[in-house]
Amino acid sequence: ENLFIMSEKPKILHQSIVSRSRLFTVEAVDFQFSNGVERTYERLVPGGSGAVMMVAMLDDEHVALIREFGGGVEEYTLTLPKGAVDLGETKDHAANRELQEEIGFAANKITFLKHMSLSPSYMKSGIDIYLAEDLYPSQLEGDEPEPLELIKWPLANLHELVMRDDCTEGRAIAALYLAKDYLRMRANET
């Protein structure tokens, strides 16, 4: 049974570019809702081919975290390896490349878990979450301004991790819980 009332999607009346920078394009979109209300939304328009974030299992119990500087929050944070998909690159390949650049490992097994929106009101783009398993050492040169610190964290202590002041990235927290649940369900099937 459907628990949600399906309403007609708003119609796009007009779209225009409001601003462009080196990294961002801001678009204004005028919508008309089924009840006649009109509203203008400004949103960031994605560039490139998407983005990936990986929950990389160093062994059966430990996940690979990185400690990196977040320019937006001006702090070092604990997060997951992630990055942009290069033009012409598959998302699976991008996931494995980013792992090699950011944590010095590649994965023999990459499993797509979910596409997540980042901020549905303001961003059209999202990120694809992958589980990376059966890792082996493999290093590629990355584009980080300084070396990233690799931290081995027990997935069983996820609650302790997310309560830390330096673990604040919502998409990483969601990805970790998603992967933990996926691994638990998979273990129960065998």
55 with 175: CB under 8 angstroms?
yes
Q: What is the three-class DSSP state of 27?
A: strand
pLDDT tens digits, one per residue of 35-86? 889 999 988 887 777 899 999 999 999 999 999 998 888 899 999 999 999 9
User: How far from the centroid of its chain's Cα atoms is residue 174's Cα?
Assistant: 9
pLDDT tens digits, one per residue of 148-167? 899 999 999 999 999 999 99
Amino acid, res. 72: G
Distance CA 78, CA 75 (A): 10
Q: Does the structure show a pLDDT above 70 at 171?
A: yes
pLDDT tens digits, one per residue of 76-120? 999 999 999 998 999 999 999 999 999 999 999 999 999 998 888
CA-angle at 133, arms to 98 and 161, nearest 5°: 80
The confidence band for 4, taking pLDDT boundaries of 50, 70 and 90, is low
pLDDT tens digits, one per residue of 17-35? 999 887 778 889 999 898 8
Q: What is the pTM of this model?
A: 0.85
